[in-house]
Structure 1
Amino acid sequence: MGNSTVTTSRVVRFESFGGPEELQICEVPVPQAGPGQIRVRVTAAGLNPMDWFMTSDAETAARFGLSLPCGFGTDYAGVVDQVGAGVSGFAAGDRVFGGALSRAVADHVLVDVAGTIAAGGEAHRTPDGVDDRTAATLAIAGCTAAAALAVVEPGPGDTVLIGGAGGGVGVFAVQLARLAGARVIGTGSATSAGALRALGAEPVTYGDGLAGRVRALAPGGVTAAVDLHGADAAQAARELGVPDERITAIAARIDGIRPANGADAAPQAVEEIAGLVAAGRLRVPIAASFPVEQIRAAVELQAGRHVHGKVVIDL
């Protein structure tokens, strides 16, 4: 599609907040890149739990600065097709990926080259050897995993307990901890054991008695913990004698334990992760991809929390 002929663009959005049933596909005029912006022709958009959590009701949406009509999805990958005034460092035809809060599932997205995921969007060059579907899964989960590991700093000699290891962030956290030299024990459902082993984790089922099951796997002790689901893994780590300064959580707020937030990730973290993917040292399992027309089914699958790997929308 040449930009001269395209006048409308598909965008997935909410006219009222709620579940997947409220998602609509609309035709809108193609947005034009302003000063300091690039326009990306999106080819793939990765889904994250925060996408449907943020837009589930008006009160939650307001906490994230979202108002109606509201777009959907944050992770994107595609090709720059228009460059605004004053932009250097990007040119039409460049492959890029990144995040644009709650507006990524669209044919075109505008990104401020000096922005952040939450304000204006952000863009990184997609390395050769990383396909767009994979690039579209990196920004949110990669930043969140990097931020969590930066709190506990795993290394050789560490045994790290990762709660919710089979989820979207867990895919990255397990592999990054292993690349840092740590032994990883990952909690998940019984059905996720094979997927966790494939990432390099030793699987353990979550639920009552977790600390005892971890102790049996690691009689020498656990030295750090990252809870990507709730507070169960963090509490088990405390029972096993892990000091609070080597425990973090991304979803629960636990007194005495420093939370991790993707917004706190080092600026180059997601580019380093993309480089690891390009080098074949980190892999992202893509569980399913859907055409944008099936956005509701894609969100329902992802929101069920039983999928091992990432769900991606093709545009």
Structure 2
Amino acid sequence: MKAIVYSRYGGPEVLEVREVPEPKLGPESVLIDVKTVSVNPVDWQTAAGHLDSRFDVHFPVIPGWDVAGVVARVGPTVTEFTAGDEVIGYVREDSIGRGTYAERVAAPLRTIARKPAGLSWEQAAAVPIAGLTAYQSLVHALRTGPGDTVLIQAAAGGVGSFAVQIGVALGARVIGTASAPNHDYLRRLGAEPVAYGPGLDERVRALAPHGVTAILDMYGGEALTASLGLLNDASKGRVVSLTNDGVLENGGTFVFARPSATDLQQLSRMVESGVLVPEVSTVMDLTDAAEAFRLSQTGHVRGKIILRVAD
């Protein structure tokens, strides 16, 4: 089968199209004919070696963890799915080597759920990692609900777009940082937009004079440190960072999305009910993966970049 692979760490230039063996199918897995995959910053960060201290890596690596496609075969113990079922998945294993940028993917049951009805394949692939990261941050880590005022950093991006919609659905007031061209977009999602960068404290306090009750941080560093002062006195420690585990020192939570069929099913229900609408910014062919990496690395993408594997 055809796949994107890299045999050494580096930038987009290390990616190549190669014929590789079809993945073996475990007893509690399904084999998926891949339709689309989503490009996430963690994909090119992994290829650059940034996760080498956290995961065993087996070269050559097929990148990618998001997938949408059709079940081709099921393992001998699988009763939840049959051939022909349409599924989505966050197919992250305990080591890095066998990813989703390929024509076929073997996915453990814990990583997949049924594709939301009515979504295009491009929209479907946008849901798993970004949706799970936002959902697990707001629901499990921050326990967001009515009465909360949540500050979401990078609110127009892949995770941020989901986080805004989930926060609103949970009954929270959402303030989202973004560049000026994305402010109308955030308003459509239900957030109150503010510009990121120097002076953020003053701009947020103009909207919430008594501070916010929760923060979802996607920048780390100085942006995280500066925003901690926006938490009101009763909400110290209600901060999640997706980039900096140093947040633990401030009583916060570091979130790295976990594969969860249960959470993924809940996201599918939210999409089907109209609460969540995946935002797709760009669609490319699988063979354009290097260019997709370069685009993602700019950090100025609204929504998700999708690679089309099969029609």
- TM-score, scaled relative to structure 2: 0.89
C-alpha spacing 1:62/1:159, structure 2 compared with 1 (3 Å): closer
Write the letter of the residue equivalent to 1:68: F
C-alpha spacing 1:26/1:278, structure 2 compared with 1 (3 Å): same
Write the letter of the residue equivalent to 2:113: H
Does the CA-based 8 Å contact 1:188-1:204 persist in structure 2? yes
C-alpha spacing 1:129/1:260, structure 2 compared with 1 (3 Å): farther
C-alpha spacing 1:51/1:281, structure 2 compared with 1 (3 Å): same
Deviations 1:86-106 (A, max 9, x none): 221111101011022361110
Aligned to 1:167: 157
Aligned to 2:44: 52
Aligned to 1:129: 118
Aligned match of 1:205 in 159, 174, 195? Answer: 195
Write the letter of the residue equivalent to 2:88: F
Does the CA-based 8 Å contact 1:96-1:123 persist in structure 2? yes
- SS state at 1:45 partner: strand
Unaligned ranges ≥5, structure 2: none
CA distance in 2, matches of 1:126, 1:147: 19
Aligned to 1:260: 254
Aligned to 2:300: 306
Does the CA-based 8 Å contact 2:240-2:255 persist in structure 1? no
Alignment of 1:2-151 (within 5 A): 9-57=1-49, 60-61=51-52, 63-101=54-92, 103-113=99-109, 115=110, 122-149=111-138, 150-151=140-141
**Structure with larger RCO (C-alpha < 8 A, sep 6+):** 2
CA distance in 2, matches of 1:265, 1:214: 33
Aligned to 2:264: 270
Does the CA-based 8 Å contact 1:135-1:274 persist in structure 2? no
Alignment of 1:223-234 (within 5 A): 223-232=213-222, 234=224
C-alpha spacing 1:233/1:182, structure 2 compared with 1 (3 Å): farther
C-alpha spacing 1:68/1:213, structure 2 compared with 1 (3 Å): same
RMSD: 2.0
Unaligned ranges ≥5, structure 1: 1-8, 116-121
CA distance in 2, matches of 1:47, 1:107: 15
Does the CA-based 8 Å contact 2:37-2:64 persist in structure 1? yes
Deviations 1:141-163 (A, max 9, x none): 11111121132222222211111
Deviations 1:178-222 (A, max 9, x none): 011111111122222222222211111111121111111223432
CA distance in 2, matches of 1:233, 1:224: 15
Aligned to 2:168: 178
- SS state at 2:129 partner: helix
Shift in Å at residue 266 of structure 1?
6.5
CA distance in 2, matches of 1:202, 1:265: 31
Shift in Å at residue 233 of structure 1?
5.3
Does the CA-based 8 Å contact 2:30-2:71 persist in structure 1? yes
Write the letter of the residue equivalent to 1:251: T
Aligned to 1:280: 274
- SS state at 2:301 partner: coil
Does the CA-based 8 Å contact 2:91-2:108 persist in structure 1? no
- SS state at 1:35 partner: coil
Deviations 1:47-85 (A, max 9, x none): 11111111203x633522222111111100000111222
Identity of aligned residues (%): 37
CA distance in 2, matches of 1:291, 1:267: 28
Does the CA-based 8 Å contact 1:147-1:266 persist in structure 2? no
Deviations 1:10-59 (A, max 9, x none): 111101111111101111233342433211000000111111111203x6
- SS state at 1:245 partner: coil
- SS state at 1:63 partner: coil
C-alpha spacing 1:249/1:132, structure 2 compared with 1 (3 Å): same
C-alpha spacing 1:313/1:98, structure 2 compared with 1 (3 Å): same
CA distance in 2, matches of 1:73, 1:264: 15
